[in-house]
Structure 1
Amino acid sequence: MTPRTLTAPTARTAEVTVLSALDLLSGDAQAFAHKVWASRVHLHQTDPERLVGILSLDDVDALLTSTAIRTPAVRLAHNGSVLPESSYTKGGTLAGKPLTGLVDPRRLFDLVDDGASVVLQGLQRYWPPLTRLVGELEAELGHPCQANAYLTPPGSQGFAVHSDSHDVFVFQTHGSKRWEVHTDDGVQDILLEPGLVMYLPTGTPHAARAQDTVSLHVTLGINQLTWRHLVRRAVTPLLDAVDDGHLPAAYVDQPGTLGAGLADRLTALAAAVRGLDADALAREQAEGFLSSRPMSLAGGLRDRFALPGVRSETLLQRRRGRPFTLVDAPEDRVRVLLGDRHLDVPARLRPTLERVAERHELRPADLHDLLDPESALVLCRRLVLEGAFTVHG
């Protein structure tokens, strides 16, 4: 069976519409995937409140001043150049062990006063709202994603015109920034303010300058998996199977002997390539991606302590940013792909799991027409342990 993502682009829970990450960023996930993806610049206007709260200026202030944030999570740029870490970091100790690369807020502020931009890198690893957003986006696109944020003082420009080796979604959470975007139709002048989301395909030249107030924007980078990547993955084992014996001696004088041996091996390799099961390789790619993503277990400790109190009417909530995809598995089993792992269960549970996959909120009692009450509790508790759901109440 071909894997299918069961997190719906739009689902209703208690009459509240839940937008998928791609709907939120593009306005229409299906239209984006078929008409925009990897082809052209796209702008989408949305409710500013949907995005501003993901990473506010106060959030960045707290990260820089009230945590032990270190490089390479932070870097500074000024006039198109990356500043040396030594200009804004210091050392320290923790439990008697030395720490290096700690951000020194006072030194960093002095550089910002001089026009330097602050870049927060890999935010999906330590900022929960972006962990969830990036996780959802990865599950929808099937491509690895990352999140950076750029804090730019008024009137400053962090980098000159440049292009990225990956696609990006960009959205403003404080202030405004004027973007110079180069396309086949010429140079576009785009003022990015909270509520406007911009998508740039790989290789789109651009530069941006903050306006009259400090600017904070988030960039979601999409590191594309390509056809070359997939073909290489399929063919590499066949290449590794080619014998590694020496080429014949003196072949430079008798290249025909080399050509004959090479022809035999290429013929065998071509036959092996023709024998590949493209559908099986595609399923392997999808399943591998959806069970090997870095995932956050925020609240997982609390959930474990809450498990004994889970009863039939206990409300569970689906963990945002985590896939829940069903595929067939060998030996009459069904496999649940959960982002950083998979769970194999008997195939008779498929109807139950399909119902679970449709829900953003769930009570064990919602499964009583499919499972006896005790079995429903066991399954729901297991899904909490695996990180697919959290205990809400």
Structure 2
Amino acid sequence: MSLSTPPDDPTRPGAGVLETRLIDIDREKFAREFWGQTALLTRGAGDFSDLFSAEAVDELISRRGLRTPFLRVAKEGTTFPDSSFTAPAGVGATISDQLDDTALWRKFADGATLVLQALHRTWEPIAEFNARLSTELGHPVQANAYITPPQNRGFDDHYDVHDVFVLQIEGTKRWIIHEPVLPDPLRDQVWTDRRAAVADAAKGEAYIDTLLGPGDVLYLPRGWLHAAQAQGEVSIHLTLGIHSWTRYALAEQLVQAALALLRDDPEMRRTLPLGVDGPAGEVDVVRKRLAAAVADADAASLFHRTRRGQGRPAPLGPLAQLAAVQGLGPESVVRLRGALDARLEGSRLSTRVGWLDFPETDLPSVRRLLDGEAGTANDLGNGLVERLLRAGVLVPADP
């Protein structure tokens, strides 16, 4: 078991949410010794009530009109069908798959775990936290909450195909962790395909067997086996899932870029010979040309485009944005919209909301905005600011 120790200066300037909220070692040590390698248990990382709480659970389930798949329900390894806890919401909202709070109460009272999924889309404090963490890690982050009644568990021993940070919010939960049966599984190498191996490994000596209490954080790389059971009171924990980019994923991007080059190769578009008996000779030709295309391919743009597609920009209020456009004046202060994953390549700005080309005269102002600076329309250029406001790239800066 790896239990972290405090760094010399955990509050040093510039530390992000990884260091200030999730671990009590410095980022470099975490990256060197734990990231993608082994489990890390951090006691008393902090108070997470600003992110989530029991009151948040009740509000989301009973007042927000959530639909599936924003919630799953499970008990002792069995996931209930959506139809067992959803219903139409009445006049004016007759969508059939909205959460039925009465049905959910009955299942919860009978020992079922409630799983609020994709909280980075439905709960603002978590959305903001996730966006910051994703930016720091360079990998997409999702957030689920698990609400388990006393002395119950929702899922059997299993592993995830993404890394996780487990943040205990309320109550206590016993976590039993075992080392992987398949290190670093890819997205399609799910635990159910190795159910017998997982069950056998779970019978062995645990790597970690501990109680998590409020404020504790557990980091697990993908592939690490785990099961958890609530103790004498309701347990609420957040799981932050890190959907890590891998070398295999980069290889996929590189091959796609190479194939795009081969589309323009007349020899590769030719029909195979008539009556060819087996493709052996042709495979050798293709292999050589494919290898050459891989050597010439630039997968960077494809990688960044794919990465942008895995996240969403910060929220944009249409009425506030319209007011900003209509009220634009020389002293209006604007900034880059958050979580755009903006990238300037030559004179083209690519973001999660599209791309824009700029004349050379605008590029200094664009670079200034990408560096995180706020500026006035007068300094940046009124025409540029209006264009970027209308495109949803800029937003009014906080007063």
Shorter-chain TM-score: which interval? 0.7 to 0.9
Tell me if 1:101 matches 2:97: yes
Is the partner of 2:102 in helix, strand or coil?
helix
**Rounded Cα–Cα distance in structure 1 between residues aligned with 2:30 and 2:389:** 33
Higher relative contact order, chain-length normalized (CA < 8 Å, sep 6+): 1
Structure 1 residue 204: Cα displacement: 0.4
Counterpart in the other structure of 1:192: 212
Gaps of 5+ in 1: 1-15, 366-372
- 1:207 is aligned, of 227, 231, 241, to 227
Structure 1 residue 391: Cα displacement: 4.1
Mapping of residues 221-260 of structure 1, within 5 Å: 221-236=241-256, 238=258, 241=263, 242-243=268-269, 245=271, 248-249=274-275, 251=277, 258-260=279-281
Tell me if 1:341 matches 2:332: no
**Cα gap change, 1:379 to 1:272, in 2 (>3 Å):** closer
**Cα gap change, 1:306 to 1:171, in 2 (>3 Å):** same
- 1:327 is aligned, of 344, 356, 369, to 344
**Rounded Cα–Cα distance in structure 1 between residues aligned with 2:80 and 2:67:** 15
**Cα gap change, 1:111 to 1:238, in 2 (>3 Å):** same
Structure 1 residue 165: Cα displacement: 1.4
Is the partner of 2:95 in helix, strand or coil?
strand
| Aligned partner letter, 2:157 | V
**Rounded Cα–Cα distance in structure 1 between residues aligned with 2:151 and 2:270:** 60
Structure 1 residue 380: Cα displacement: 4.8
- Sequence identity percentage: 31
**Cα gap change, 1:349 to 1:166, in 2 (>3 Å):** same
Is the partner of 1:169 in helix, strand or coil?
strand
- 1:164 is aligned, of 160, 164, 171, to 160
Structure 1 residue 273: Cα displacement: 2.6
| Aligned partner letter, 1:392 | D
Counterpart in the other structure of 2:138: 142
**Rounded Cα–Cα distance in structure 2 between residues aligned with 1:115 and 1:299:** 40
Q: CA offsets per residue over residues 148-177 of structure 1, 9 Å max, x none?
A: 111111221111111111111111222222
Tell me if 1:263 matches 2:260: no
**Cα gap change, 1:328 to 1:160, in 2 (>3 Å):** same
**Rounded Cα–Cα distance in structure 2 between residues aligned with 1:391 and 1:119:** 36
| Aligned partner letter, 2:321 | D
Q: CA offsets per residue over residues 169-194 of structure 1, 9 Å max, x none?
A: 11122222221111379421233233
TM-score, normalised with respect to structure 1? 0.77
**Rounded Cα–Cα distance in structure 1 between residues aligned with 2:363 and 2:43:** 39
| Aligned partner letter, 2:223 | G
Counterpart in the other structure of 1:13: none
Which has the larger displacement, 102-111 or 200-209? Answer: 102-111
Q: Report how many aligned residue pairs link the two structures.
A: 355
Mapping of residues 354-365 of structure 1, within 5 Å: 354-359=367-372, 362-364=374-376
Is the partner of 2:176 in helix, strand or coil?
strand
Q: CA RMSD in A?
A: 3.3
**Cα gap change, 1:154 to 1:383, in 2 (>3 Å):** farther
Is the partner of 1:155 in helix, strand or coil?
coil
Is the partner of 1:133 in helix, strand or coil?
helix
Structure 1 residue 107: Cα displacement: 1.6
**Cα gap change, 1:234 to 1:310, in 2 (>3 Å):** same
The answer as to whether partners of 1:90 and 1:100 remain within 8 angstroms in 2 is yes
Mapping of residues 52-67 of structure 1, within 5 Å: 52-67=49-64
Counterpart in the other structure of 2:46: 48
- 1:39 is aligned, of 21, 37, 48, to 37
**Rounded Cα–Cα distance in structure 2 between residues aligned with 1:31 and 1:352:** 37
**Cα gap change, 1:247 to 1:139, in 2 (>3 Å):** farther
The answer as to whether partners of 2:253 and 2:299 remain within 8 angstroms in 1 is no
The answer as to whether partners of 2:343 and 2:351 remain within 8 angstroms in 1 is no
Counterpart in the other structure of 2:299: 281
Greater share of strand residues, 1 or 2?
A: 1
The answer as to whether partners of 2:73 and 2:79 remain within 8 angstroms in 1 is yes
Counterpart in the other structure of 2:68: 71
Q: CA offsets per residue over residues 228-264 of structure 1, 9 Å max, x none?
A: 222223224655744473565372xxx6xx4333322
| Aligned partner letter, 2:344 | V
Structure 1 residue 73: Cα displacement: 1.0
Counterpart in the other structure of 2:193: none
**Cα gap change, 1:338 to 1:193, in 2 (>3 Å):** farther
